[in-house]
Amino acid sequence: ATHAQRGAIETTTAPRRRPRRPAGEKPPPDEPPPTRMPCCAPLLALAVLATAAVGLCARDGQLAEALSPGGAPRGLLERAYVCSYVVDATVPHLADAFTQGLTIANGTLYESDGLYGHSQVRSVDRISGWTIASTRMKHHHFAEGIEVVGNKLVQLTWKASVVLEYSLPDLQLLREVPVSIGREGWGLASDGRTLYVTDSGSALYHVNPDTYEVEKRLTIHDPRLRGVGKDGTPTTGRDIFGVNELEWVDGELWGNVYPMYQGTASECVARINAATGEVIGWVDFRGLLARQREEVRRSPHNYVLNGIAYDERTRQLLVTGKKWDKMYEVRLQPRPDLEPTHIEKHCSLGHPSGQRVG
């Protein structure tokens, strides 16, 4: 949603399982535990064309080989600049949760929920959506991205210029740390060595996880898209503004895109090379917002897709949005037939120059 307080490409949905109860509702004592569908790897390479629906979307041939026991056709993977998705499972999500951060660590799902006076961090049961533990934040703190670093959870704030640290698993506040990273706090993720932070613009910050000092500043840039120079002339390549909630996924940095200050909202996720800032591909998640309740559908610029969580152990990929009452377990489908013009036409990235509105 706004921080002022702050044709779809969806593929066929997998067969539905047992209907899920609303988030927060506990199961009756005599109900047997649900049978879970085996997790599908969101980045499995295409070893046999007969099973080519589940794919690794990567341009890096070495990464493709590492994840493909049978060896994927490299040309096919390189052409998969755009991916669509299949929904394998629908999971309850707290409907009043203004999702700003989502991550999985040691099998536990953590969520950061925003809005002044309502911000909190919580651990969540991945089957029922029930809150396991939570900590409310001060009224003047607006929750943003989160990441587990060692034995603590780290949380950004929107405009307060502080990082909050919490103990695990009880989420008790340990300390507030003043920081100077960017103009605002938005997305946060880590590869285990470096923190990656976005700030509403096109910048990607490499941050020391011990000191919170900025070590490097890059520009998130897609060389395949058409841009506009300062003088208004067309250019090759464009900067990507408003990269929001972040997640580290099999060696790539994934980011929801919310060009809020450019007056638009996107249902696409950028796949970023964190070492260079280059966008190496996109996932088009259009169609998920249309599944939400009417209140959310009526305000698509506020209740946006915002939340990616990836379990490295099971390769389960979860996505959700702000005030959505559903979370989705998804797997990807490469679309080598789609060109950069598809992203320009359907992903609502705002003005190529990053010009602000309002």
Quick check: 184 pLDDT over 60?
Answer: yes
The model's pLDDT over 310-346, given as tens digits with 9 standing for 90+, comes to 999 999 999 999 999 999 999 999 999 999 999 999 9
Burial of 149 (0-12, 13-18, 19+ CB in 10 A): middle
CB atoms within 10 A of CB 210: 9
CB 45 within 8 A of CB 64: yes
pLDDT of residue 356: 72
Tokens of 314: 């099971």
Distance in angstroms (rounded) separating the CA atoms of residues 259 and 275: 23
Distance in angstroms (rounded) separating the CA atoms of residues 319 and 306: 8
Q: What mean pLDDT do residues 73-98 have?
A: 81
Measured in Å, how far apart are the chain's first and last C-alpha atoms? 16
CB 120 within 8 A of CB 164: no
Indicate the average pLDDT of the chain.
Answer: 82
Distance in angstroms (rounded) separating the CA atoms of residues 142 and 121: 11
Q: What mean pLDDT do residues 104-132 have?
A: 95
Give the distance between the most distant pair of CA atoms in the chain. 69
Strand order in the sheet with 99-105: 99-105, 108-113, 120-124, 131-136
Give this prediction's pTM. 0.80
Quick check: 262 pLDDT over 70?
Answer: yes
Quick check: 28 pLDDT over 80?
Answer: no
Q: What is the dihedral angle through the alpha carbons of 140, 145, 147, 152, rounded to the nearest 10 degrees?
A: 0
The model's pLDDT over 214-239, given as tens digits with 9 standing for 90+, comes to 999 999 999 999 988 777 788 889 99
Distance in angstroms (rounded) separating the CA atoms of residues 315 and 310: 7
Beta-bridge mates of residue 218: 204
Distance in angstroms (rounded) separating the CA atoms of residues 153 and 263: 32
pLDDT of residue 358: 57
| pLDDT class of 36 with cuts at 50, 70, 90 | very low
Alpha-helix runs per DSSP H in the chain? 61-67, 74-79, 294-297, 340-346
| pLDDT class of 79 with cuts at 50, 70, 90 | low
Tokens of 347: 């992903």
pLDDT of residue 357: 66
Burial of 151 (0-12, 13-18, 19+ CB in 10 A): exposed
Strand 82-92 with 279-284, pairing = parallel
Q: For 34-53, give one letter per residue: b (16+ CB within 10 A) or e.
A: eeeeebbbbbbbbbeeeebe
How many C-alpha atoms does 77 have within 13 Å on its Cβ side? 24
